[in-house]
Structure formats: C-alpha cells, structure tokens
Structure 1
Amino acid sequence: MSRKRTRLIVTIVILVLLLALLGVAYLNYRASRKLGLDIQFNQAELLAQPQYLFSFSGDGAQRLARPIGVLVAGGRAFVTDAARGTLDVFTAEGDRVAIWGKGKLVTPLYVARNPVSGEFYVSDRRLRAVEIFSASGKFLREFNPKLPKSELPKFDTGGAQWAPVALAFAPDGSLYVTEILNGHRLLIFDKNGTFKKSVGTAGLVEDAKQGEAIFQFPNSVKVSGDEVWIADSNNRRIQVFSLDGEFLRIVLTQGLPRGFDFLPKLTKTEPRRIVVADTLSHDATIWDADKGQRILSFGEQGVLEGQFSYPNDVSIDARRRIYIADTVNGRIQVWGWPEALSPVPMPKTPTGWALCLSPLLLLPLLLFLRRRRYFATREFVEAMIALEELQLMPQRRVRWEVTPEDYELFKDVKQGDVDLSELLHPVEHSESDATALKDRYKLEWHDAVLLSIAQRAKLFCAEDPEIRRVARVLEVESVDHLEFIARQRKSEVKSAGSPVNKD
C-alpha cells in the first residue's frame, strides 16, 4: 500500500471518529440533558510542563565560564563561577549587577544567604573554606568551623579542617554544610556558628533504598520546614533528616541528582514539590516531595535554548521561576509557567459543543497542507543552476528556504518555468542558536548560522562535506546536489509506475 493511500485511509478514519464523537455527545445530551463527563480533578495536584523562558551568561570577557551554584534571593541571582573564581550578581532578568570575590575566591562551588545577618556564604573547593561576604559584596572573613579534634581527619591535610561543598541555612540562622574531607557527611552549626553535630559517613550503596546516613558526594542541601534535604548524588537518592540531624527517610530519584530546590506553593492544599537537576540525564525533574513520585521532566542534552549540558544547581524564586546552572554551556537557564491562566468557559448547548469541536475536522486537512521545509546553501543552488536542474526543486508541500543574502543573489534567476524569486524564501537565523553551535563545535560563524537554520528544516541541502558531517551529528538529514537529483529522479520513476531502464 502506498504512503498516499495510507494517509488517505488514516484521514478518513479520523474524520469518522470525530463525527461519531459529535454524534455521541448530541445523543447523550438528548437523553440526559447533561454535557460533559463526571470526572473531577484536584486542581492543586495538576502541574503543567514548565516552559523555557530565557538564558543569561553576561557579556564579553566577563561571560560565565563554568557556573556551578545559583541562588535567587532579594530579586537578584547569585552565580558561582568555578573557572573565573567569582560570585557574579545578576538581576532576576539576567542583567549583571556586580562581580564579587575577585582575588578572594579560587574555585567557588555553592552560595547560601544567612537569613538573619543577610551575609552570603560561599564554599570554595580549592581553598577548602567557606568565605563570607556582606550584602553589598564586601569580603568580610572566612568561616572557621572550629571542629573538635574528634571530627578532624586522621591524615595530614596541610592545616585544612574540612572540604565544604553545599550549604544551607535554617530560618534561625543555623548552618548546614556537607563536606567530603573527613568522609562524606553533614555538619550542623548553631546560629552563632558553633559546631553541634556531624551526621553520616562515606560509602556506596547497592540498594538506594538502604543505607541511611551513608553519602557518596552530597552535592546539595536545602532546609524545608523542620527538615533538611540532602542530594546523595552518587547513591542516586535524596536523604531527609530532622533539623537536629536525625534520619527520617529516603526519596529515590533517577540518574545522578545534583542541585535541587522546592517549588513555592500556590495554595495550602498543593503538594510539596521539588525540582532536581540530573547532571547525567542533562535535564531537570519535578518530584512530589512527600510521595516520592516523579511528576515530569523537562529539557534535554544539547547546546541550544532549552537544552542542557551537565546542569548542576537549581534555585526557584517566589514567582516559581526555575533558575538552573547549565554548567558546561556556561549559562543560567530560566524556566517557568505563565503567571496568569484565563479560565475557558465550557459550552452549555449542543450547538455550542458542535461549534467548539468543529475545528477538529480541519486537522486532517492541515496535515495535508503542511509544507516541509528544505534549507539550501548558496553552493547547492549554484550547482543546480549550472546543471540546469532547477525544475527538480519545485515540489508540492515543500518550502525552499535560503539566507536573506542568498535570496538577494538568486531572486532574479529564471530557468525554464522556475522563478527563484517565487521558489525561494529568505529566513533569518537565531543569534543565540548560532552562538551556541559556534562555541560548542568550534565552527566558523558562517557555518554556525547555516546550521542554526538547518536544524529547523526537514532537509539540509549543502555541498560542503564538513558542514554536512556536523549536521549529521545534530541529527539533521542532509544531501548534496548529486544525491538530491538522484533522489528526485528515482521518485519520478516510481510515481510514473515505470520500470527503471537498466540498458
């Protein structure tokens, strides 16, 4: 059976089903005088897929190089850059405000704000220390944990007491720090900075549901109510403790959880949810924090907008905008939901339902009318002109696209019945997509522009074998002029129903 005949049958089936649905709805109304189904949803438990909003990384030589931690507080986004040794401060919309820590930080990891003093605490892997800055960015001092001898490593550390990683504060100013020098553990300090307790030890577990207070790289810690949550990354889980460090439960996750944060509740009945960055899956997942159930995931691996490369940390503001440190791509991505959703009134009469559902009958027609996008480079079009094969390019439901510059070059060309001013369509490129491709694959700007357009097309027609190789890496189908001509000749023979002459 041909593809054309298959599509026709599918279309007829869809139309019959839609008409049957309208008929059932009408008969149901005539019998019961009711429209709709008796299905009720708990609106507090519904959650739509978050949308990619924007990214930011700064400008010029001061662009983010390797952002590790992110904290949104007081209308500002604070980002640690492990490559540049800085704590960069941005507005919530991504405009840089200041750069802190030059000459004081070396390899900063995570940042937390003391809710009592307003000071910012930054962990530094190279310094094996926590550095403290004022609310205005002035370096104040280094936090001294003053660990008792029983809590110090038994080997020579060169004077270092600990290797702090993640840190978080309780509302009263109590400090919780994960560290990995003397085992992998959680250290608890009171609001005055006095050591209170060490929780846990290092270890890998075979069963993620077992082995309480055993950690393998605790890369994130957050305080939620009267609980302390810790991302036990290499054990593929989150462990939950009381504020005093007593083990409560394990929340299983997928992949390798790194940073996470809690979604602010819109209502009292809304379940508690967390957003977890999975550095190996290159995405983020929203979990029901109390049931331990996965709700949805968003993002994918890549270098373009809405794609991640080893995401590492998460912070969520009061507007439920999700800030994610997209580490290898050198940027902060922001995701979220529309702030207001207008209710849609339900039809109340059969006529209203018929008018509401009638546009569905047009869906099959739209499928047939949808045009495939072919993107062609200048060299490809020139080759087709030279061989006088332009007549092979016009096809039903195919839109040929070129760069605006190439359109100006070819718009006056006519060959037979083919007028390139009508056949070709100029299309602009995305600056952010082209920049991401250029940086990721070390491309020339011109090639990055072409590929940024090609990745949105059904077919990429180009002559340069190197740019076609990169296109294949991006999973974009590509052909040169000879392959395109051969494909069209074969299609013509098949459509005519004639055997190929082998003489």
Structure 2
Amino acid sequence: MKVICAVLACLYVTACASSSATGQRSASRELQWPPLPLEPRIEWVKDINDYRDAGISKGFWQRLADLVFGEDKTRIIKPYGVFCDEKERLFVVDVGASVVHVMDMRNKEYFLIGKEDKAVFRTPIAITEDEQENVYITDSSAGAIYRYSLIRKELSPFVPFKLGRPTGIAYNRRNKLIYVTDTAAHQVIAFGLDGMERMRIGVRGDLPGQFNYPTDLFVDAQGSLLVTDALNFRIQRFSPDGQLLDVFGRAGDSSGSFAKPKGVAVDSEGHIYVCDALFDAVQIFDGTGRVLLDFGSNGGQEGQFWMPSGIYIDGKDYIYVADTYNRRVQVFRYLKLGDAMVRGAKK
C-alpha cells in the first residue's frame, strides 16, 4: 500500500512539474524576425522534443505503468523529415531511432511507425501523405519506399524495385504523382499511386535542369515541384510534368547563398524557405529567388539550430523545422502583413 501511495504521489508531482514547465515556456520572451521596431514576419511558437510537447498526454494507468516498469523510448533522437497534415497529425521521421513518430494533436494520440512492423526501417529520411490516409516514407540505406496505411495500421513496400538512395519525397494532388529524389542517381522519379514509375527528371550535371546529388522536395500550392540541388548549391523548380521553370542559388557564405542546403518549403504567399545545415539558419526567398529574410543562429536555445534539415509549412502557415542535432522539431509561424498588429491587440 505504501508503494502505491508513493507512486501516486510521484505521479501528482510529475503532473504539476509538467504543468509548471509549460507555463514557464508560454511566459518566456517572444522571439520574432525581424526584431522590433520592424513588423515581425516570423514568430517562434514552441519546440517539440516528444509527444508531450505536442499537447498529448498519457492516461493515468499508462503513466502508472511507466513509473513501475519504465517508460517507452518516445523522445526524438535525430529528426530529419517532418510533415503535418490537415488533420493536425505531425509526422517526424527519426533517423536516430529508425522510426516515424506520429503525434495526433487533434485527437491527442501518439504512436510509432516502424517499431514493431515486419518491414523495419534502416535509414528513414522523409515522408509525405496522399488523400487516402496513406503516408509514404523513404529509406535511403534500404533503397526503398514504404507505404503505411493510417486506417489499417499496415506497412508495406510501395515500389517493386530498389532505388540507389531515395531521400526527399512529396505528393502532388494535382496529378496524383509521388516524387522521390534518388540522390545517388542524380534524378527525381515520379510514381503513380499504384507504385509504377511515370517519369524521371534530370541527369547529373550543373546546367539548369540537371542535378548534383539532389535531396529534399516540396510541392507548392500551384503543383510546382521544388528540388534542393544540394551540391550545385541551388533550388530548382519544375512544372508537374517535369519542365524546368526556374533556378536560383549559388555557393557561398553570404546572405542569399548556400553552404549546405537541405529542406525546402513554400508558405501560402509563395515565399520559399530553405534550411542551411552549415549556416544553422532558414533563409526566405521570394518567387524570383531574391533573399528576403533569415531566421535562426547556432545554438540550443529557442529559435536557434544545430543542423536544421527537413522543413514543412502547413496550410495555416505554421513552419516545422527538424532541428537535427538538438533532437527536436521547432515550430514557427509566418505572419502576413498586419497579423502581428492583430495578435498584439488581442493580448
């Protein structure tokens, strides 16, 4: 009886400590870019180290079992790919743990993909989702793409052949194609939802439309495909059928140039965001490739990065950045002109 009482007391203290920490975080100083007195366009929202930071809590008996038998390994170890769907499910591809964390922020549920399935990931990198409750995950070491049904909770191979080194992945709702970068082949491959290949984009080279180790992908609201052409130090944009639209970027250490570009994403107004793992920052460009703003610096505090990699922007302009070596996902928000003033008036 004394043991049970002690455990219950620990649970109560843990809950209070968690609540206190949340209160301290919400009361912390605001981070925004550019700084005042200029009108901010980016604001820091929160960081996510595990499902608790996503607003998900375990039930009483599960917490009791964790204290007695030990807690599951649910902390993010080494995130890369990140995706958040319209149902407020946050997917974090954890290279360090070889799993995908699924945090259902609307229904307050959490589970892992890849922990106990027959097809175990070796080096999962990126993730996307179609309209049929299926997510698609690249595994670079295995040369594979997997499909996971969120309805049936089943994981299975998606394509019938092995790729060189699949990394980035993105789904285009306009033509129902899934684009995958085969980094080792210096190409982007498009697949139908049946897993059959439809087309290939690019060959190795440094001319427009060619690639030198392409990595991350993003499909914008118009259905255009953005590709991080990593070792050409640039971003290339293609039409849904693979026609080159434009190119921007150069190697360098000044604003607007790239040192180690990784994740790419686009907000609701067409601004292009690129993570740079050596700059430890996210740069923002307009549709023509002109640099507008950057945010972040090296470190482990709020708003700082240690090798940012994947990035995703949802329909509400929340920006999710995989802060890889800080073992977390940081969440920011793009503020349209006037949003900051309205937000300030509500306080």
Tell me whether the two structures share a fold, i.e. TM-score over 0.5: yes
Rg comparison, structure with higher value:
1
Relative to structure 1, is the Cα distance of residues 215 and 261 closer, same or farther in structure 2, using a 3 angstrom cutoff? same
Q: How many residue pairs are counted as aligned between the two chains?
A: 272
The correspondence of residues 94-493 of structure 1 with structure 2, limited to 5 A, is: 97-103=110-116, 104-115=120-131, 117-136=132-151, 138-145=153-160, 160-171=162-173, 172-181=175-184, 183-203=185-205, 205=206, 211-224=207-220, 225-252=222-249, 254-255=257-258, 256-265=260-269, 272-289=270-287, 291-336=288-333, 341-342=341-342
Relative to structure 1, is the Cα distance of residues 51 and 96 closer, same or farther in structure 2, using a 3 angstrom cutoff? farther
Q: Which amino acid aligns with 1:98?
A: F
Q: 1:350-375 CA deviation, whole Å, 9 max, x = no partner?
A: xxxxxxxxxxxxxxxxxxxxxxxxxx
Q: 2:341 is paired with a residue of what secondary structure?
A: coil
**C-alpha distance in 2 between matches for 1:337 and 1:77:** 18
**C-alpha distance in 2 between matches for 1:217 and 1:335:** 29
Q: Which amino acid aligns with 2:210?
A: I
| Kept after mapping to 2: 8 A contact 1:239/1:251 | yes
**Which consecutive unaligned segments of at least 5 residues does structure 1 have?**
1-45, 147-159, 206-210, 266-271, 346-503
Q: 1:58-104 CA deviation, whole Å, 9 max, x = no partner?
A: 177321110011001121210000110100012459x7711111142
**C-alpha distance in 2 between matches for 1:179 and 1:47:** 41
Residue of 64, 69, 77 corresponding to 1:65: 77
Offset of residue 327 of structure 1? 0.3
Offset of residue 135 of structure 1? 1.8
Q: Which amino acid aligns with 1:141?
A: S
Q: 2:231 is paired with a residue of what secondary structure?
A: helix
Offset of residue 190 of structure 1? 2.9
**C-alpha distance in 2 between matches for 1:305 and 1:254:** 24
Offset of residue 254 of structure 1? 1.8
Q: Which amino acid aligns with 2:268?
A: P
Q: Which amino acid aligns with 2:82?
A: V
Relative to structure 1, is the Cα distance of residues 177 and 47 closer, same or farther in structure 2, using a 3 angstrom cutoff? farther
Q: 1:431-482 CA deviation, whole Å, 9 max, x = no partner?
A: xxxxxxxxxxxxxxxxxxxxxxxxxxxxxxxxxxxxxxxxxxxxxxxxxxxx
Q: 1:309 is paired with a residue of what secondary structure?
A: coil
Greater length-normalized contact order (CA 8 Å, ≥ 6 residues apart)? 2
**C-alpha distance in 1 between matches for 2:105 and 2:214:** 28
| Corresponding residue number in structure 2 for 1:52 | 44
**C-alpha distance in 2 between matches for 1:294 and 1:176:** 26
Greater Cα offset, 212-221 or 294-303: 212-221
Offset of residue 251 of structure 1? 2.0
Q: 1:202 is paired with a residue of what secondary structure?
A: coil
| Kept after mapping to 2: 8 A contact 1:174/1:193 | no
| Corresponding residue number in structure 2 for 1:76 | 89
**C-alpha distance in 2 between matches for 1:130 and 1:138:** 16
**C-alpha distance in 2 between matches for 1:226 and 1:131:** 23
Q: 1:8-27 CA deviation, whole Å, 9 max, x = no partner?
A: xxxxxxxxxxxxxxxxxxxx
Q: Which amino acid aligns with 2:76?
A: L
Relative to structure 1, is the Cα distance of residues 96 and 234 closer, same or farther in structure 2, using a 3 angstrom cutoff? farther
Q: 1:114-166 CA deviation, whole Å, 9 max, x = no partner?
A: 13x220000012211011111247233101255xxxxxxxxxxxxx3432111
Relative to structure 1, is the Cα distance of residues 320 and 161 closer, same or farther in structure 2, using a 3 angstrom cutoff? closer
Q: 1:257-283 CA deviation, whole Å, 9 max, x = no partner?
A: 211211123xxxxxx212211111001
**C-alpha distance in 1 between matches for 2:77 and 2:139:** 16
**C-alpha distance in 2 between matches for 1:343 and 1:54:** 17
Relative to structure 1, is the Cα distance of residues 136 and 100 closer, same or farther in structure 2, using a 3 angstrom cutoff? farther
When you count helix as a share of all residues, which structure comes out higher?
1
| Kept after mapping to 2: 8 A contact 1:174/1:192 | no
Q: 1:193 is paired with a residue of what secondary structure?
A: coil
Relative to structure 1, is the Cα distance of residues 127 and 47 closer, same or farther in structure 2, using a 3 angstrom cutoff? farther
Runs of 4+ in 1 over 3 A off after TM superposition: 337-340, 342-345
Q: 1:304-357 CA deviation, whole Å, 9 max, x = no partner?
A: 121100000111122211110000110000112566633999xxxxxxxxxxxx
**C-alpha distance in 2 between matches for 1:301 and 1:177:** 30
Percent identity reads 28
| Kept after mapping to 2: 8 A contact 1:88/1:96 | no
Q: Which amino acid aligns with 2:341?
A: L
| Kept after mapping to 2: 8 A contact 1:315/1:324 | yes
| Corresponding residue number in structure 2 for 1:85 | 98
| Kept after mapping to 1: 8 A contact 2:183/2:215 | no
